Structure 1
Amino acid sequence: MDSRKLAKVAVKKGAVQKVSELSALISLLKKRKLNTIVEIGTGKGGTLYAWCKIAEPGAVIISVDLPGGPFGGGYKISDIKKFRKYKRKKQRLYLCRKDSQKNSTKEEIIKHLKGQKIDFLFIDGDHRYSGVKKDWKLYSPLVKHNGFIVFHDILLHPGVLKCKVDKFWNEIKKRYKHIEITDKYNDLGWGQWGGIGVIYYDIT
């Protein structure tokens, strides 16, 4: 499936993303062999669907989502069966309905990784400054050298005052090679929103 079509399907399945931005990210990710993916903030599962489709056939894919989270987290128990159908036959999909910011959750993820480093970490959970910073501190050390760490909602969100991903992004991007995928047109009547930031995680 081409990148734009996959992005459109992901949005239809609930991804709160701009098709143009998600499509560009998918095209970038397709250039790598993704054997290990961790997603923080799954919501309705749209992006999880996309990651399953572009990951390697035997990949480990881990979703972390907090029931009742402040930024739209907490899918229904009934969604679990649906999400499990997203993975390919030999992929291993782990759905952790827990708080990403607890050390016990990190330890569970490490257990599922079985000694592997993360190829692609997607941070789209708690959008408060303290929350996104905590997710970075906890999980970035688990990412492989030159792996991808991707943030969603890096643009300033005038209509959502608690969303401070942009503040953390503008701090952290100075330390790493990075790209920004932004389409600033006003859609859904929300005003400025979205934006994807990609860190090439250099641990040297």
Structure 2
Amino acid sequence: MLKTFSGRAPSQNEYELRSFIALLNERGVTRYLEVGSRHGDTFHEVMTSLPAGSYGCAVDLPGGLWGKRRTEQTLLAVADDLRAKGYVIDVVLGDSTSQGIIEKIRGLGRFDAALIDGDHTYRGAKADWLNYAPLADLVAFHDIVGQGMAEKVHGNPVEVPRLWAEISAEHDGCVEFVDSDSKMGIGVCTSH
């Protein structure tokens, strides 16, 4: 089972995350963007699987998960731990769909890979796709499986499966990592 930096239960399926990380390593990823980093557990796991000296940028809402201060503090602790391990890390706190944040991320240059795991509504996830896919060679989404599931805090629908179905139908080079009986899944587009 995955161990998390925060000590919380993992929000990723181990098989799916390990498969995604294997693809990143296969592709020689050294510049990684994560939109929707929450506590930073996935960000930490991915970054520590990349070569030391790799660059990572974690993006999350100010105050962290739905404005709860605890997630921001944990994410900043993740960044400090990664820096101590020899990684180059930026944490960008703000709404990933706001023009100021988009420009800030664009100013950081190209990324080898990006994981979109923030707003799970169709509109929010599509905005992140449109804004950040042009900046990365690989673009991944978390929670590509299922229909009509509701997110835990506000009960909003998780509409990433709908968006993923559209994207994977329109683009060659998309792969899925879905464990048996998983209600999450990671989808990756290697060309767009």
Shared fold (TM-score, shorter chain, > 0.5): yes
Q: Distance in 1 between matches of 2:6 and 2:15?
A: 14
Q: Distance in 2 between matches of 1:46 and 1:135?
A: 20
Q: CA deviation at 1:11?
A: 8.0
Q: Distance in 1 between matches of 2:69 and 2:183?
A: 18
The answer for the alignment partner of 2:153 in structure 1 is: none
Report sequence identity in percent: 28
| CA pair 79-63 structure 1, distance change in 2 beyond 3 A | closer
Q: Residue type of the partner of 1:8? A: L
Q: Residue type of the partner of 1:104? A: G
Q: Distance in 2 between matches of 1:32 and 1:195?
A: 20
Q: Residue type of the partner of 2:94? A: K
Q: CA deviation at 1:89?
A: 4.5
Alignment of structure 1 residues 41-52 onto 2, 5 Å: 41-52=36-47
Q: CA deviation at 1:109?
A: 1.4
| CA pair 85-123 structure 1, distance change in 2 beyond 3 A | same
| CA pair 124-88 structure 1, distance change in 2 beyond 3 A | same
The answer for the alignment partner of 1:156 in structure 2 is: 146
**Is 1:128 paired with 2:121?**
yes
> What SS does the corresponding residue of 2:95 show, helix, strand or coil?
coil
Number of aligned residues: 184
**With structure 2 as the length reference, what TM-score do the two structures score?**
0.84
Structure 2 runs not aligned, ≥5 long? 151-155
The answer for the alignment partner of 1:199 in structure 2 is: 189
Alignment of structure 1 residues 22-171 onto 2, 5 Å: 22-67=17-62, 69=65, 75-77=71-73, 79-87=75-83, 89-111=85-107, 113=108, 116-143=109-136, 147-160=137-150, 162-171=157-166
The answer for the alignment partner of 1:8 in structure 2 is: 2
Q: Distance in 1 between matches of 2:5 and 2:190?
A: 25
CA contact (8 A) 2:177 2:186 kept: yes
CA contact (8 A) 1:39 1:63 kept: yes
* Residue-by-residue CA offset, 1:134-161 (whole Å, 9 max, x unaligned): 0001111112xxx210000000144416
| CA pair 120-51 structure 1, distance change in 2 beyond 3 A | same
CA contact (8 A) 2:32 2:111 kept: yes
Candidates 148, 161, 177, aligned match of 1:181: 177
